[in-house]
């Protein structure tokens, strides 16, 4: 069981907007540690998508955005495209474990 | 361009040992912390271990503490993961990752290798 909780799956039609939640606790997200997001396309290594809660690395489209509030964070993808079909993971730091922690991952299906 | 290339994986029997290496290029290796993250077949990501830029400090997931050792050679731009007392549940693809800039304990992982498969089975 992951320290950060994500829905196992979400889906949306092309052009739509989807959100993926990441729920933590007072020892990680709620303790004001930054949240980061990764995209893992099928058969490939994960790729950094969002860092420090809401920053996009160079080359990541502005269709991807994220936010954080309290003990939760969320990733939003607008104008959904077929190429967005992937697994998405949130990551933060947990002070109880003194470790980086990942969410369980969310599989995005583009209908 | 940043490149991280893992090597040393393979099939090992339970209780055995394996040493993973990760050759880094395209950035000033000695300036950045490095980590290993693993992914069991069909499962999610699990942070395994991290090492500071100097190599002075290391950290491990509870699941591998006492069995795995991370180290680095800044002269050779290489980070290692020595794995011993391996168990079936250690079977996974192991990714070498470069830490980005850390903020109060939270580091993001801005570059990932392609990963190397470790299979623990008799």
pLDDT in tens for each of the 111 residues of chain A? Answer: 889 999 999 999 999 999 999 999 999 999 999 999 999 999 999 999 999 999 999 999 999 999 999 999 999 999 999 999 999 999 999 999 999 999 999 999 999
Q: Pairing state of beta strands A9-12 and B109-112?
A: unpaired
State yes or no: pLDDT of B105 exceeds 80. no
Mutation choice for B interface testing from A3, A45, A59 by most B CBs within 10 A: A45
pLDDT at B92 (0 to 100): 98
What is the interface size between A and B, counted as CB pairs within 8 Å?
71
In terms of C-beta density within 10 A (0-12 exposed, 13-18 middle, 19 or more buried), how is residue B13 classed? Answer: exposed
Structure tokens at A56: 């996009």
State yes or no: pLDDT of B65 exceeds 90. yes
Residues 46 to 85 of B: which have CB under 8 A from any A CB? 46-47, 50, 59, 61-62
């Amino acid at each position: 069981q992951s320290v950060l909780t994500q829905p196992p799956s979400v889906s949306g039609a092309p052009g739509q907007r989807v959100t993926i939640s990441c729920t933590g606790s007072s020892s990680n997200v709620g303790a004001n540690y930054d949240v980061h997001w990764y995209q893992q396309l099928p058969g490939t290594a994960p790729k950094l998508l969002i860092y420090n809660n809401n920053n996009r690395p160079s080359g990541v489209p502005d269709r991807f955005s994220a936010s954080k509030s309290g003990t939760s964070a969320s990733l939003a993808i607008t104008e959904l495209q077929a190429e967005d079909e992937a697994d998405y993971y949130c990551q933060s730091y947990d002070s109880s474990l003194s470790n980086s922690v990942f969410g369980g991952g969310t599989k995005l299906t583009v209908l | 361009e940043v490149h991280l290339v893992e090597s040393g994986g393979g099939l090992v029997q339970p209780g055995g040992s394996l040493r993973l290496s990760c050759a880094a290029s395209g950035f000033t290796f000695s300036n950045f912390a490095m980590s290993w993250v693993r992914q069991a077949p069909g499962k999610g990501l699990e942070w395994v271990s991290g090492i500071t830029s100097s190599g002075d400090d290391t950290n491990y997931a509870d699941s591998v503490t006492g069995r795995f050792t991370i180290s680095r050679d800044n002269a050779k731009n290489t980070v290692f993961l020595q794995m011993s007392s391996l168990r079936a549940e250690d079977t996974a693809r192991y990714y070498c990752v470069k830490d980005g800039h850390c903020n109060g304990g939270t580091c993001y992982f801005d570059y990932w290798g392609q990963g190397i498969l470790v299979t623990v089975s008799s």
